[in-house]
Amino acid sequence: MIASAAPKSQATLVAVSTHEREPDKHPLDFRLIVRLFRYTQPHARMRNILLVSVVLRSIQLPCLTWIIAAVIKGPVADGDSRGLVVGACLFAALALFTQLTMYFRQRLALELGEAVVHDLRNDIFRHLQRMPMRYFHTTKVGRIISRMISDVEDLRTGVQEVLFVTLVQLGQMIVAATFMLWYDAMLFLLVLGLAPVLWAINRHFHRRLSHAYRAIRDSFSRVTATLAESVNGIRVTQGFVRQRTNAALFHELIEDHSRYNFAALRMQGLFQPLLDLNNQCFVALLLLIGGWQVLSPGGGTDVGDLVGFFFMAGMFFSPISNIGGQYNQALTAMAGAERVFRLLDTEPEWVDPPSARPLPQVRGRIEFRDLSFAYDPGRPVLHDISFVAEPGKTIALVGHTGSGKTSIINLIAKFYLPGTGELLVDGHDIRQIRTADLRRHVGIVLQQNFLFSASVLDNVRVGRPEATDDEIIDVFRRLDCLDLIEALPEGCHTQVGERGGRLSVGQRQLVCFARAMVGDPRILILDEATSNVDSMTEHRVQRALARLLSGRTSFVIAHRLSTIRHADVVLVLDHGRIVERGSHDQLVKASGTYAALYERFVDACAA
């Protein structure tokens, strides 16, 4: 509803859709609360002490006020200096006690919240590790991160503040109400009459404010998205002299954002004063009626009680607006809890069956038998695939984008389970093999060449954690690229940066080769990188690749002619079917699809 109010120019600057936004509120749900509360179970001692301190504190605050009122009413009014001293001492003692309780109340609440969140984060992470590849292919990284960061953060506030602060404040209200009843029941009813007004104001403004904040967030996300793009695309912008146009569009966006901000600030500006006005109304009413009672002869109320009542009323009212705020936060926390628990409740689509067999040794014979597969039901990507890869052979997979090459390697790596038909590893159904065992014998190099932000050595060690530095250096030597790695600023100890960004594409590829090779896998899966590197580096990568492949059953999604030439079998895929198979030479002679592809390419190059 708010997005429609955005300026139309936004469409021409950046089209940020908000359609995937998740609800930021969720009604209070008892099951969620119980489940969240269960997370405090491991910290039961902390929680119980906290509850005690909460109860204590809700009594202490009104009591302190009561002492002041009592002293003013009694000793001060009567001129009893001894009573004054006693009252002062009592007050000092109680104040000290109150603050001591406060220390525990605050510290334990904060720590409990953090402890719960800490456990939740670990649970989420552990859970994520169990999810199959499909989950990560279909879920955006940002979404998973926001589960872990912002939702969990909302939950923390929920535990740290909403629950315990609300308890303290409710308690304080009850105790203050009791005192007021004791002072003057009539007046108290009057106070009670004002409470709903206060509550209503709160509800009204909180609702409108949360709408306003949402509009602010939406417009701000448009601002940041535009900004991010502007910064990343600055070279294009300057190259095409678009600076002024962009600046004008951006100005419009932030004007728009500022309008929402202004609206919210304006509302806040009305809200707080209205609350205070309500308090003032109460003071005036109290004066009028209380004063009336005191002034009427035989009214029974005296001035001291009136003062006490004034103080207590403050104790009674201040929680109301606080609780209104807490209620809002509680709804936000609920939404967070709902999402976090939904993630935790998403069962992995498949896990190893209990009967899964260990796989100590692998020869490396892979067989596809009439295998069909679909990512989405009803949209098959592989049809009746049958082939055998004998141990030690290299199979090249060739075909257009979307022909099913990646799906085949996804199945061999057991990232996905086959649909119908069978995939046999050394004659065993892949479904019946322990996934961890299988992967121990499979080395994978994918196109992205993903590296962790760690040193080169540690990145290679991912392939075999117990490998020593010397072993890793030896792997580089066997790949015949040790000189290239040692040429890095700090050699093997060079930090590769986030996603390996500090290495060149070619260097990243070599590290990935080493990572796959260090585990000495029997089966190798390789999705050849497509990015361009200069011919010299290219040459080195090719040589390393040849060494990596030798002696292993290898599946290669090939982009280079030399790799295909090297393969024992070339499988040509088209729309999920194997349309041709054979060696390069055989296929060229066969003048089929492969030959046509090849011809066309050669023509393009020779032109």
Asked if 12 touches another protein (CB under 8 A), the answer is: yes
CB of 332 to another protein, least distance (A): 20
Q: Which of 189, 284, 351, 388 binds another protein (CB under 8 A)?
A: 284
Give the interface segment with another protein, choosing from 351-359, 379-387, 487-495, 598-606 (CB under 8 A). Answer: 598-606
Asked if 331 touches another protein (CB under 8 A), the answer is: no
CB of 84 to another protein, least distance (A): 5
Are 219 and 260 in contact, with CB atoms under 8 Å apart?
yes
Give the interface segment with another protein, choosing from 43-51, 204-212, 266-274, 466-474 (CB under 8 A). Answer: 266-274
Asked if 499 touches another protein (CB under 8 A), the answer is: yes
Asked if 34 touches another protein (CB under 8 A), the answer is: no
Q: Which of 2, 7, 9, 14 binds another protein (CB under 8 A)?
A: 14
CB of 484 to another protein, least distance (A): 12
On the 0-12 / 13-18 / 19+ scale of CB atoms within 10 A, 508 is buried
CB of 34 to another protein, least distance (A): 24
CB of 232 to another protein, least distance (A): 6
Identity of the amino acid at 350: W
The C-alpha atoms of residue 556 and residue 409 are separated, in whole angstroms, by: 9
CB of 551 to another protein, least distance (A): 19
CB of 342 to another protein, least distance (A): 17
Other Cβ atoms less than 10 A from the Cβ of 347: the count is 10
Asked if 247 touches another protein (CB under 8 A), the answer is: yes
The C-alpha atoms of residue 174 and residue 68 are separated, in whole angstroms, by: 19
298-317 residues in contact with another protein (CB under 8 A) are: 302-303, 306-307, 310
Other Cβ atoms less than 10 A from the Cβ of 24: the count is 15
Residue 573 — left, alpha, or beta (φ > 0 → left; ψ -120 to 50 → alpha)? beta
83-122 residues in contact with another protein (CB under 8 A) are: 84-85, 87-88, 91-92, 95-96, 98-100, 102-104, 106-107, 110-111, 114-115, 118, 121-122
Asked if 186 touches another protein (CB under 8 A), the answer is: no
114-173 residues in contact with another protein (CB under 8 A) are: 114-115, 118, 121-122, 125-126, 128-130, 133, 136, 141, 144-145, 148-149
The C-alpha atoms of residue 354 and residue 430 are separated, in whole angstroms, by: 14
Q: How many residues bind another protein (CB under 8 A)?
A: 168
CB of 275 to another protein, least distance (A): 9
Asked if 468 touches another protein (CB under 8 A), the answer is: no
Are 278 and 316 in contact, with CB atoms under 8 Å apart?
no
Please give the backbone phi and psi of residue 520, each rounded to the nearest 5 degrees, phi first. 45, 60
For residue 157, give the nearest of 93, 110, 202 by alpha carbon.
110
Asked if 506 touches another protein (CB under 8 A), the answer is: yes
What is the torsional sign of CA 177, 183, 184, 190?
negative
CB of 30 to another protein, least distance (A): 28
Asked if 17 touches another protein (CB under 8 A), the answer is: yes
Q: Which of 170, 462, 546, 579 binds another protein (CB under 8 A)?
A: 462
For residue 62, give the nearest of 258, 336, 318, 361 by alpha carbon.
318
Which residues lie closer than 8 Å to 141 by C-beta, 6 or more apart? none
Q: Which of 43, 206, 208, 242 binds another protein (CB under 8 A)?
A: 242
Which residues lie closer than 8 Å to 444 by C-beta, 6 or more apart? 409, 413, 516, 524, 525, 526
Q: How many helices (H) and strands (E) does the chain have?
A: 23, 10
Asked if 519 touches another protein (CB under 8 A), the answer is: yes
Please give the backbone phi and psi of residue 444, each rounded to the nearest 5 degrees, phi first. -130, 130
Residue closer to another protein (CB basis): 192 or 281: 281
CB of 254 to another protein, least distance (A): 5
Asked if 561 touches another protein (CB under 8 A), the answer is: yes
Q: Which of 28, 189, 200, 287 binds another protein (CB under 8 A)?
A: 287
Asked if 590 touches another protein (CB under 8 A), the answer is: no
The C-alpha atoms of residue 549 and residue 547 are separated, in whole angstroms, by: 5
The C-alpha atoms of residue 109 and residue 40 are separated, in whole angstroms, by: 11
The C-alpha atoms of residue 59 and residue 53 are separated, in whole angstroms, by: 10
92 in helix, strand or coil? helix
Residue whose structure tokens are 């999402």:
339
Distances (CA, A) of 289 to 184, 278, 415: 11, 16, 77
Helices (H), ranges, 233-361: 234-239, 243-295, 303-345
CB of 258 to another protein, least distance (A): 4
Residue closer to another protein (CB basis): 174 or 267: 267
357-416 residues in contact with another protein (CB under 8 A) are: 398, 400-401, 413, 415
CB of 370 to another protein, least distance (A): 26
Residue closer to another protein (CB basis): 81 or 468: 81
